[in-house]
Amino acid sequence: MRMPAIAISALLLSVSLGWAKNADTSIIQSNGFPVEKSAQSILDEQDYQRALTAYRFWYPTVSVEGIFNGSRAAGAKDNQSMFIVAAQPRHVGLTLNSDTPYGGANMDLSAGPVVVEVPPGQFVGLVNDRNQKWIMDIGLPGPNKGKGGKHLILPPGYNGKVPDGYQVGRSATNKILVAIRSLPSDGDVNKAMAEMKKIKIHLLNSEKIVTMFDVTDRKIDVSALSWEDNFQYWTALHKVINEEPVNPEQTAMYGVLENLGIAKGKEFKPDARMKSILERAAKNGRDQLIVTTFGDKRPERITWKDRKWEWASYVSENGDFMTSSGMDLQARERWFAQAIVASPAMFSRKPGAGSLYWLGLRDNKGQYLEGGRSYQLKVPYPVPGKLFWSVTVYDAKTRSQVQASQGKAALRSLFELKNIPSDAKEVTLYFGPTAPAGKEDFWIQTVPGRGWFTYFRIYGPTEPTFNGTWRPGDFEAVTFEKSSGKIGMNH
């Protein structure tokens, strides 16, 4: 198994770095034993480094727990009901978008295998386990390519009879997330929401269909933002570890947790020393993830050498962040610090029915995008996608859609930008705290004092988006002359 080896390597590296930081010639006496007054500081540092390693590795698990709990807070019940939503900025979740209505079902396989019946149509869906590990794709990116089909998700260790006629996936956890999006390919969101209600989710041993209810008009939070930088992170993780079977692929990482007092079947009661270490690791672990997401220097993150756009994910061949030599832990951390769920279709760099994600967080001068400044973005037209495209603005702190008085966070080809002439060569989009005169329909409001980033999404991307013959411009800082509507470059 490759996972334990990779995890052990990461652990040993982090611990060795911590030891080196505190290394001192007085640590070991001439008789070979440690100096008593130095030993405790070294032990504290080792536990802290273990906690940092554990925090980063288990972040996807705690993040999806935020989805589960947010769904329940909105009124959803596992195996019984699920919410659907045409997402807006008031709906908090890591890089949710307003392009397509969402549906998310919390399903518990301890009650038996789960069936997802999808009719023919414009659906993009997936199933992830409780660690956000990919199980299967559904709809357009799935094996039936949008023609409809029945999908069956089996519990851990299931050895019962598997009926014919299903696309089958196996989960390593009892709790799973079934996530569906209905594409409003004709710009009709209400129609897309109605189409989603045709999907049937139920237990294999029951004909009772999971009901759907609309929360578009309500505020919801399906993130772990309130947990991610404090001790509650560890209590949430302990709950998951205690409720789920041990995954043999992650044996070494369970061992790291056990060193920290988190183990299946055991009460989590850290003493004052360990609680202090875990609190510090949660704060600094979150910060390390943010640095990996927004400050990383790996060269393969850059989409084109003459642009500042980045790939949201390094890994493009699968949904598990696996390479020929093992798991790319850094790529995994980068993705889950900014987004939720994973699938090969989300990361693919081949033309098809999936979607493409470019991350924009710097202007053409290499500076982070700031909410108090104004920018323009020139997009060559037409954009090469079979379905539609959008640019969505996210708050750097919440990694959720920016919340400003304008009340929107996206410019979308099916909505705000639908009347662009077919013979247009370029469209210019605007971002900043105030709109340029006459360009309000092409503008997203940002908040002074808040950093922001964007996802440029193309649904059904075609070859020019991958071979470099088509590419958007960079964000350029500008000043808006509101009285005349003229725009000048801000140098």
Where are the chain's structural domains?
A: 2-71+225-294, 76-221, 299-489
- Name the residue with higher pLDDT: 97 or 488: 97
Confidence of residue 145 (pLDDT cuts 50, 70, 90): confident
Looking at residues 70-81, what average pLDDT do you find?
A: 97
Please give the pLDDT value at position 2.
42
Tokens for 319, please give them: 């949904």
Q: What's residue 22's pLDDT?
A: 46
Q: Say what the pLDDT of residue 20 is.
A: 44
**Residue 10: per-residue pLDDT:** 47
Q: Is the pLDDT of residue 23 over 60?
A: no
Mean pLDDT along residues 56-67 = 98
- Given this model, what pLDDT does residue 485 score? 40
Give yes or no for residue 441 having a pLDDT over 90.
yes
From residue 64, give the alpha-carbon distance in Å to each of 39, 41, 131, 209: 38, 34, 7, 23
Say which CATH topology domain 76-221 has: Immunoglobulin-like (2.60.40)
Q: What contacts 357, CB < 8 A, 6 or more positions away?
A: 311, 312, 313, 346, 455, 456, 457
Residues 269 and 341: their CA atoms lie apart, in Å, by 31
Q: What is the pTM of this model?
A: 0.91
Q: What is the pLDDT of residue 353?
A: 62
**Model pLDDT, residue 316:** 66
- Mean pLDDT over residues 268-285, rounded? 98
Report percent pLDDT > 70 for the chain.
92
What's the confidence (pLDDT) of residue 265?
A: 95
Choice among 218-222, 251-255, 343-347, 348-352 with the minimum mean pLDDT: 348-352
CATH: 1.10.3360.10, 3.30.565.10, 1.10.3720.10, 2.60.40.10. Which one for 2-71+225-294? Answer: 1.10.3360.10
The span from the CA of 374 to the CA of 395, in Å, is: 15
What SS3 string covers the chain? Answer: CHHHHHHHHHHHHHHHHHHHHHCCCCCECCCCCECHHHHHHHHHHHHHHHHHHHHHHHHHHHHHHHHHHHHHHCCCCCCCEEEEECCCCCEECCCCCCCCCEEEEEEEHHHCCEEEEECCCCEEEEEEECCCCEEEEEECCCCCCCCCEEEEEECCCCCCCCCCCCEEEECCCCEEEEEEEECCCCCCHHHHHHHHCCCEEEECCCCCCCEEEECCCCCEECCCCCCCCCCHHHHHHHHHHHHCCCCHHHHHHHHHHHHCCCCCCCCCCCCHHHHHHHHHHHHHHHHHHHHHHHCCCCHHHECCCCCCCEECCCCCCCCCCEECCEECHHHHHHHHHHCCCCCHHHHCCCCCCCEEEEEECEECCCCECECCCEEEEEEECCCCEEEEEEEEEEECCCCCECCCCCCCCEEECCCCCCCCCCCCCEEEEEEECCCCCCCHHHEEECCCCCEEEEEEEEEEECCHHHHCCCCCCCEEEEEEECCCCEEEECC
Q: Which pLDDT score, from 0 to 100, does residue 355 have?
A: 81
Q: Is 451:353 a contact under the CB 8 Å cutoff?
A: no
pLDDT average, residue stretch 322-328: 86
pLDDT digits (tens, 9 = 90+) for 77-110: 999 999 999 999 999 999 999 999 999 999 999 9
The predicted-structure confidence for 358-394, as pLDDT tens digits, reads as follows 999 999 999 999 999 999 999 999 999 988 999 999 9
More confident: 207 or 491: 207
pLDDT at 381: 95
Residue 491 pLDDT > 50, yes or no? no
Q: Is the pLDDT of residue 191 over 60?
A: yes
Q: What is the mean pLDDT of the chain?
A: 91
Same fold, 76-221 and 299-489: no
pLDDT for position 5: 41
Mean pLDDT across 426-434: 97
pLDDT digits (tens, 9 = 90+) for 450-482: 999 999 999 989 999 989 999 999 999 998 765
CATH architecture observed for domain 299-489: Sandwich (2.60)
Q: What pLDDT is recorded for position 482? A: 56
Q: By percentage, how much of the chain surpasses pLDDT 90?
A: 78
Q: Taking the alpha carbons of 81, 86, 91, 97 in that order, is the dihedral positive or negative? A: positive
